[in-house]
Amino acid sequence: MTCAMRDLAAASVLASLQPTEWTALEAHLAQGCPACDEELRLAHEIALGLATAVEAEPPAALRAKLLVKLSPSPLAPGILLKDQGILIKRPDELGWRSFIPGIEQKMLHTDTDRRYRSYLLRFEPGAKLFKHRHPEVEEILVISGDVHISGVDMRAGDYCRADADSVHDESWSDAGCVIFVVASMDNHIVA
């Protein structure tokens, strides 16, 4: 006959029970359950055997198979690291997506809580971006090429910061460009 508390008895050896489970198991064992007593004895015996086991090197072929199975699953394309609050991406491995005619976007990160995005925009020569209002601060860094923002011809290395409630008139590129943008998800077109 199998006791419903048997699994708790085995798990108790690993110290993996919640306080309420410990209390229930102790009360159950105090009533004298032979099945749970035996399960507890066997679990202790196995744990003691594992604790005193001698380390041994597995055969090379088995070790190779285990390492393949245990290696972390591959990350999404372009993601080099996503661990403990650190995200590192390689944009060259991410695809460009059409943003508007003549301009493509490569999304780097979306923060839905703060409603911000970090992305690259690539303008074809002559491409124009619509006039828009910034509900929050927007930052732009020109990576390559040229872009005209608010009447200023910006080149690689130039930086633009737009305050909340500011408006960018239509922006364009003569020769094409790539810019890095950190902007609110709530920017909107101004007619």
Residue pLDDT, tens place only, 64-109: 777 777 766 667 778 888 888 888 888 888 889 999 999 999 999 9
Residue pLDDT, tens place only, 99-111: 999 999 999 999 9
Residue pLDDT, tens place only, 100-143: 999 999 999 999 999 999 999 999 999 999 989 999 999 999 99
What is the domain partition of the chain in residue ranges? 6-56, 95-189
Across the strands, what pairs with 123? 103, 177
- Write out the H or E segment, with its range, that includes residue 85: none
Residue pLDDT, tens place only, 144-161: 999 999 999 999 999 999
Is 1 a residue whose pLDDT tops 60?
no
CA–CA distance, 4 with 14 (Å, rounded to integer):
18
Is 12 a residue whose pLDDT tops 60?
yes
Residues 6 or more apart whose Cβ sits within 8 Å of residue 141? 157, 158, 159, 160, 179, 180
Q: What is the pLDDT of residue 5?
A: 78
CA–CA distance, 163 with 21 (Å, rounded to integer):
56
Q: Provide the CATH number for the domain formed by 95-189 in this structure.
A: 2.60.120.10
Average pLDDT over residues 40-63: 78
